[in-house]
Amino acid sequence: MSDATFAAMRQSIIDGAPETAAELAQQSLLAGLLPLDSVNLGYVPGMHCVGEEFAQRRMFLPDMMASAEAMRAAMSVLDPELRRLGTERPRAGVVVLGTVKGDIHEIGKCLVGTLLTAHGFEVYDLGVDVSGEKFAAAIRERNADLIGMSSLLTTTMKQQRTIVEVLEKEGLRSRVKIMVGGAPVTRQWAQEIGADGYGKDAATSVALAHSLMEDASRLASMENR
């Protein structure tokens, strides 16, 4: 059980079949497959395939919605397993996470949140369609160390810049490290808008969050000398 299972997982997303997707996830756990492997090698490639088919007009919005439903069904089985590790680790930092204003894609952002939680971060997920003002309020309320902005549309990517500007205006920019991600986002874009880092996928986002926390504590200890 592995290559054939990953292929079946991928197909369950393409077919938009939540029951099959969830059942394969259950079976994979029973067989001892790592949940992150199932996500990265099974379900996410299915999502990429759906995205390509949509772009080629061979699949349409209802198909994409059915695929998202299948992905959610698989994640509802895998999520608790992915999170389990988090309770056994010391707190790594506080993260406020959200999909930017105008954008309702949430699957990748939720996955990043799950893995950050699994690695000891305290995560406050603001959901989708989040404005700079909402990010700012949550940073204050939660005393956040990091924020993570997700954006899946080329049109909403620009919101990431707007949100950085809002944080600057509200005097919060130096208080938090900013991570950005989402399919159209690049390292170059992150630099251009003045973010602190870009995460290509959920696993690299965890490494990024840890390294940004280290940068922040190094800076704080230099300032205290």
User: How many other β-carbons are positioned within 10 Å of the β-carbon of residue 52?
Assistant: 11
Give the 3-state secondary structure of the chain.
CCHHHHHHHHHHHHHCCHHHHHHHHHHHHHCCCCHHHHHHHHHHHHHHHHHHHHHCCCCCHHHHHHHHHHHHHHHHHHHHHHHHHHHHCCCCEEEEEEEECCCCCCHHHHHHHHHHHHCCEEEEECCCCECHHHHHHHHHHHCCCEEEEECCCHHHHHHHHHHHHHHHHCCCHHHCEEEEECCCCCHHHHHHHCCCEEECCHHHHHHHHHHHHHHHHHHHHHHCC
CB-wise, 35 or 224, nearer to ligand B12? 35
Minimal distance in Å, beta carbon 168 to ligand B12? 18
CB-wise, 33 or 98, nearer to ligand B12? 98
Instruction: Report residue 150 CA to chain centroid gap.
Output: 7
The single-letter code of the amino acid at 200 is K
Minimal distance in Å, beta carbon 154 to ligand B12? 4
Minimal distance in Å, beta carbon 203 to ligand B12? 7
CB-wise, 92 or 179, nearer to ligand B12? 179
Minimal distance in Å, beta carbon 140 to ligand B12? 19
CB-wise, 51 or 194, nearer to ligand B12? 51
CB-wise, 95 or 223, nearer to ligand B12? 95
CB-wise, 177 or 221, nearer to ligand B12? 177
| Residue for token pair 């940068």 | 215
Minimal distance in Å, beta carbon 85 to ligand B12? 17
Minimal distance in Å, beta carbon 198 to ligand B12? 7
206, HSE (Cβ side, Cα atoms, 13 Å): 20
Which residue ranges make up the site for ligand B12 (CB under 6 A)?
44, 47-48, 50-51, 54-55, 61, 64-65, 67-68, 102-109, 111-112, 148-150, 152-154, 179-184, 199, 201-202, 205
